[in-house]
């Protein structure tokens, strides 16, 4: 099955640019922004400052993976304590991302 790609225009650090991602990554990014109560442009601007790769799309993919991996770890810990799921928080995941940048 071939992935579906979509291009959206977003503002990153005050500049308008196009970002081409698979549909699932757009959905993931929207979920992360909703959970963290942040704008997509703000999230992408923060990622852009930390990335060391040429590809913005790759940085978004890696960040989404790290975010939901951290969420899964937290969910496992919370489940063992009988607590509800809490979003991992952008700062925590951005620190992880900056280590691999």
Domains: count for the chain: 1
* Cβ burial 64-80 (10 Å sphere, 16+ → b, else e): bebbbebbeebbeeeee
Enter the pTM of the model.
0.76
pLDDT value for 36: 87
pLDDT value for 9: 93
pLDDT digits (tens, 9 = 90+) for 54-100: 888 998 899 999 888 888 887 777 665 655 556 667 677 777 777 76
Contacts from 38-42 at CB under 8 Å and sequence distance 24+? 38/90, 40/10, 41/10, 41/11, 41/12
pLDDT value for 74: 79
Task: For residue 36, give its domain range.
Answer: 5-100
Q: What is the CATH number of the domain that holds 39?
A: 1.10.3990
pLDDT digits (tens, 9 = 90+) for 26-57: 999 998 999 888 998 898 898 888 887 788 89
**CA–CA gap between residue 80 and residue 68 (Å, rounded):** 18
- The residue among 36, 45, 39 whose CA lies nearest residue 17 is 45
pLDDT value for 93: 75
């Amino acid at each position: 099955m071939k992935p579906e790609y979509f291009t959206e225009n977003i503002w990153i650090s005050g500049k308008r640019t196009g970002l081409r991602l698979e549909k699932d990554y757009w959905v993931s990014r929207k979920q992360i922004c909703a959970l963290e109560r942040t704008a997509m442009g703000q999230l992408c601007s923060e990622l852009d400052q930390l990335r060391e790769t040429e590809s913005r799309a790759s940085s978004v993919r890696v960040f989404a993976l790290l975010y939901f991996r951290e969420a899964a770890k937290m969910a496992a810990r919370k489940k063992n304590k009988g607590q509800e799921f809490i979003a991992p928080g952008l700062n925590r995941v951005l620190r992880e991302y900056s280590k691999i940048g």
